[in-house]
Amino acid sequence: MLNREDERMTRILGTRTRAMAAIGAMICTHASLAQSQANTTAASGAGTSPAPVMSSATPSSSPGSIGREPLTLNAGAPQAAAKPFGTEGTRWLEFGGLVADNFKDSVDANIHARFSEFIAKDVELGGELAGWNFNQPGDNAVGGSLVLIVRWHFLNRGDWSLYADAGVGAMVAGDDTPDDGTSFNLMPRVGAGLTRAIGEGGTRLELGVRWHHISNARITGDDHNPSRDSVALYVGFAIPLN
Ranking 27-31, 95-99, 113-117, 141-145 by mean pLDDT, the lowest is: 27-31
- Residue 148, helix vs strand vs coil: strand
Residues facing 108 on adjacent strands: 100, 134
pLDDT for 32: 63
d(CA 168, CA 177): 17
140 and 109 in contact (C-beta within 8 Å)? no
Q: How far apart are the first and last CA of the chain?
A: 107
pLDDT for 57: 43
Confidence of residue 217 (pLDDT cuts 50, 70, 90): confident
What H or E segment, with its residue span, contains residue 18? helix 2-48
185 and 213 in contact (C-beta within 8 Å)? no
Q: State which fold the 91-240 domain adopts.
A: Porin (2.40.160)
pLDDT, tens digit, 9 for 90 and up, residues 103-144: 999 999 999 999 999 999 999 999 999 999 999 999 999 999
Residue 183 φ/ψ, nearest 5 degrees: -80, -15
Report whether pLDDT(151) > 70.
Answer: yes
β pairing state of 91-101 and 107-120 = antiparallel
pLDDT, tens digit, 9 for 90 and up, residues 72-87: 555 555 566 689 999 9
- Residue 234, helix vs strand vs coil: strand
Where in the chain are the domains? Answer: 2-72, 91-240
